[in-house]
Amino acid sequence: TEFITPPDLTRTTALILDHPEIDYLVGSVHHVDGTPIDLDRETWLQAVQNAEKGEVGSSTSPSYSYRSVLVQSSPNDSSVPQNCDPDLDQLRPFLLAYFDAQYELITTHQPEVIGHLDLCLLYTPDVSLRSPELGQVWEKVKRNVRYVVDHGGLFEANAAAIRKGWTASYPGPDVLKVKLDSLILSLNGKICLSDDSHGVSYIGLNYIRMKDYLESMGVGEIWYLVSSGQKQSGDMTVGMRGRVVARRLAGDWRIHPFWAQMASAQAQTVNSHSDI
């Protein structure tokens, strides 16, 4: 599910009601004020600039000022400073709007999985969402995470961030780490794995690097979804639709045979390419 504009959210609600056979939702935000934020850096800058023109979400309660149509911005738009690195004051309205849109999405649909929670930082991964200069941003992050934990949702550990230049997967250490005022893990949030593959070549890409990152952050459990008809003792309720439940991967996820198989497959791929 996505939140581009409020009418899209309404249409998505109707679609879900019309198709009760949908097993689960992955809720994620790819637009702020109707502008894409992960298409390319130039369009992301346009979204930052659009939000800066009128600061929204200055309190922990959602405050919306969305366009009613999708904005298609040109990378050649002279109004966008293409080599700009926005400072925290410039980023603040954008981040506030992003996390308000995310909150609207998760409270409306209670998606079973929350996709790339901090995608808003794609082109500025070194920014700390905890920074005091960002005002209420961190409070809104905490609000969103707590809501997801309360409805039993899973947080997607998404390896796509690594192929896009991050040293870690989503969510970044700010939101995930187990020490120093941790958030997801300290609240017993559930982590699931994803490669966000949009094609065969992306399946499992950077999974080993993501595993190393999650281990370093102190992730002790991995969860996945199963049909509610297969519910066992220890499975957890997820969201309000009831078609799936969350199940913890048995044993120590860090030494699951999957990882050895993945490493072997990657080694074979490298060797086959070197023989060409």
Domain membership of residue 62 (yes or no) is: yes
The whole-angstrom separation of Cα 34 and Cα 6 is 10
DSSP class of residue 232 equals -
Task: Look at the chain and report how many structural domains it folds into.
Answer: 1
Is the CB of residue 57 less than 8 Å from the CB of residue 136? Answer: yes
Q: Give the phi and the psi of residue 241 in degrees, each rounded to 5.
A: -90, -30
Q: Between β-strands 236-237 and 244-248, what pairing exists: parallel, antiparallel or unpaired? A: antiparallel
Q: CA 178 → CA 170, 189, 216, distances in Å?
A: 15, 11, 9
Residue 199 has a pLDDT of: 87
Domain membership of residue 31 (yes or no) is: yes
Domain membership of residue 95 (yes or no) is: yes
Residue 183 has a pLDDT of: 86
Domain membership of residue 1 (yes or no) is: no
| 228 token code pair | 């509610």
For residue 130, count CB atoms less than 10 angstroms from its CB and return exposed for 0-12, middle for 13-18, buried for 19 or more: middle
Residue 147 has a pLDDT of: 97
Q: Closest by alpha carbon to 163, among 138, 197, 140, 130?
A: 197
Amino acid identity of 207? Y
Tokens 């009831």 correspond to: 242
Domain membership of residue 27 (yes or no) is: yes
For residue 42, what is the enclosing H or E element? helix 41-52
The whole-angstrom separation of Cα 208 and Cα 159 is 9
Amino acid identity of 23? D
pTM: 0.87
Q: Closest by alpha carbon to 98, among 114, 118, 84?
A: 118
Residue 82 has a pLDDT of: 55
For residue 83, what is the enclosing H or E element? none
Domain membership of residue 126 (yes or no) is: yes
DSSP, residue by residue, 17-33 = HH-TT----EE---EET
Domain containing residue 240 = 6-274
Domain membership of residue 24 (yes or no) is: yes
**pLDDT tens across the length of the chain (276 residues):** 788 888 888 999 999 999 999 999 999 999 999 999 999 999 999 999 999 986 444 444 444 444 433 344 443 443 445 567 899 999 999 999 999 999 999 999 999 999 999 999 999 999 999 999 999 999 999 999 999 999 999 999 999 999 999 999 999 998 987 555 568 998 999 999 999 988 888 899 999 999 999 999 999 999 999 999 999 999 999 999 999 999 999 999 999 999 999 999 888 876 665 555
CATH code of 216's domain: 3.20.20.140
The whole-angstrom separation of Cα 152 and Cα 110 is 9
Q: Closest by alpha carbon to 192, among 212, 168, 171, 172?
A: 171
